[in-house]
Amino acid sequence: MNTIRARGLAWVAAAMLAACASPAPRYYSLADPDAETGRPASTGGTAGFIELAPIAMPERFARPQLVVRQKEAGAGPEVDILEQHRWSSSFENELRDALASGIAQRLGAVDATKSGRPRGQPVTRIAVQLRQLDAVESSRVDAGFSWTVRRTDESPAVACQLFVSEPVGGGIDALALGAQRATAQLADAIARSVTAMQANAANACQR
């Protein structure tokens, strides 16, 4: 009887622990689904190689967890780090991968960010800095970026900035989609600046 009772208690304890266990994390991607499905290049198909440097960003964003602000918090300093809602890799790597593939697709270029390029081939080097990211639940995603573009066979560099504000609906999924759309806007803007630079346009940062 004692053995049966002990087994019963053990089963109840296991069931209680399972009930109290945290739900499995949800994972999100910044990759542009239009780019992945082969959207035609939007900048005239600039051929060549691109390399994207590691994204510079404040340390508080360099983590896999989503960092969000509750709508009720207004402009206050409090943010939430969501353990159960994560990017598929650390945010700086997620953003870099999404931008590198998105820019390459828009330009009709080869992404040499990780694979390298043939010796002697010129490459367009891109460096991006995340200056601001404010994800407000049930409201919007605000993001500010700056970047430079330089060709290895040319000395002048082009420096540009972009601020985007994406309205979002309720829920964390909506915030992740808003960040994804902001990343796609940034990829569009960088691709246009590369094309304008190569065409020697007077204002390579014009939207």
HSE, CB side, 13 Å, CA atoms: give it for residue 154: 14
CATH homologous superfamily for the domain 27-198: ABC-type transport auxiliary lipoprotein component (3.40.50.10610)
- pTM of the complete model: 0.82
The one-digit pLDDT tens for each residue of the chain (207 residues) are 455 555 555 555 554 554 455 678 899 999 987 765 444 444 444 458 999 999 999 999 999 999 998 877 666 678 899 999 999 999 999 999 999 999 999 999 999 887 776 777 788 999 999 999 999 999 999 999 999 999 876 667 899 999 999 999 999 999 999 999 999 999 999 999 999 888 876 676 765
Residue extents of the structural domains in the chain: 27-198
Taking alpha carbons only, the member of 198, 189, 202 closest to residue 42 is: 189
Taking alpha carbons only, the member of 100, 83, 86, 82 closest to residue 29 is: 86
φ/ψ bin of 94: left (φ > 0), alpha (ψ from -120 to 50), beta (otherwise):
alpha
> In a 10 Å sphere around its CB, with 0-12 CB exposed, 13-18 middle and 19+ buried, how is residue 189 labelled?
buried
Query: Quick one: tokens of 84?
Result: 């159960």
Query: Quick one: tokens of 138?
Result: 């049930």
